[in-house]
Amino acid sequence: MVSKSIETTRFERVRAGRIWWVGLLAVLAVTAVNSGLDLATVALFAVPTEFEPLQLWAVIFTSVMVVAGATGVYAIVSRFANRPVILFRRIAWTVLVISLLPLIPLYLIEPAYYPGTNLLTMGTLVVMHGLTAVISIGLLTKLAGES
């Protein structure tokens, strides 16, 4: 007896009207978490003011721009993909890994250009990258997504 399997494609739906509200929530959450981590790191470990990546204005600006970009990508992916949640997660995690690559030469090659570059400041930046990804991916796919 021969059995045939039928492959079905499950379509995911995303509530398009909610993406932008959830994106705004994600911007606020990521900005608050990263700003708090930045303020704590600077206060506890005396990070030099010359180390621009951990200046509060840079953390806020970068947090807003990155999450706004992720929200835009999710909106586009949800419009055209059959499985937008899975595709967006793949894109976002890939972008996270790529975004960490510039930190390697910053630490290894350019410490003289950025006073205060050390394992603590680099570790803080890596944690901020990770928190940004986890919060924004989680909020966007859970609150705006509908399986």
Asked whether the predicted pLDDT for residue 12 surpasses 90, the reply is no
Asked if 101 and 48 touch (Cβ cutoff 8 Å), the reply is no
Q: What is the pLDDT of residue 16?
A: 77
Q: What is the pLDDT of residue 2?
A: 54
Instruction: Count the Cβ atoms, other than its own, within 10 Å of residue 20.
Output: 14
Determine the Cα–Cα distance for residues 74 and 33; give it in Å rounded to an integer.
Answer: 21
Half-sphere exposure of residue 24: CA atoms within 13 angstroms, side-chain side? 4
Q: What is the pLDDT of residue 7?
A: 42
Instruction: Count the Cβ atoms, other than its own, within 10 Å of residue 14.
Output: 23
Percent of the chain at pLDDT above 70? 88
At residue 106, what is the residue type?
L
Q: Which stretch of 42-56, 101-115, 123-137 has the lowest confidence by average pLDDT?
A: 101-115
Determine the Cα–Cα distance for residues 99 and 92; give it in Å rounded to an integer.
Answer: 10
Q: What is the pLDDT of residue 87?
A: 95
Determine the Cα–Cα distance for residues 43 and 73; give it in Å rounded to an integer.
Answer: 35
Determine the Cα–Cα distance for residues 89 and 91; give it in Å rounded to an integer.
Answer: 5
In our burial notation (b when 16+ CB lie closer than 10 A, e otherwise), range 123-135 reads: ebbeebbebbbeb
Percent of the chain at pLDDT above 90? 64
Per-residue pLDDT reduced to its tens digit, 41-87: 999 988 888 888 999 999 999 999 999 999 999 999 999 999 999 99
Q: Which stretch of 9-18, 57-66, 121-130 has the lowest confidence by average pLDDT?
A: 9-18
Q: What is the pLDDT of residue 10?
A: 56
Q: What is the pLDDT of residue 78?
A: 93
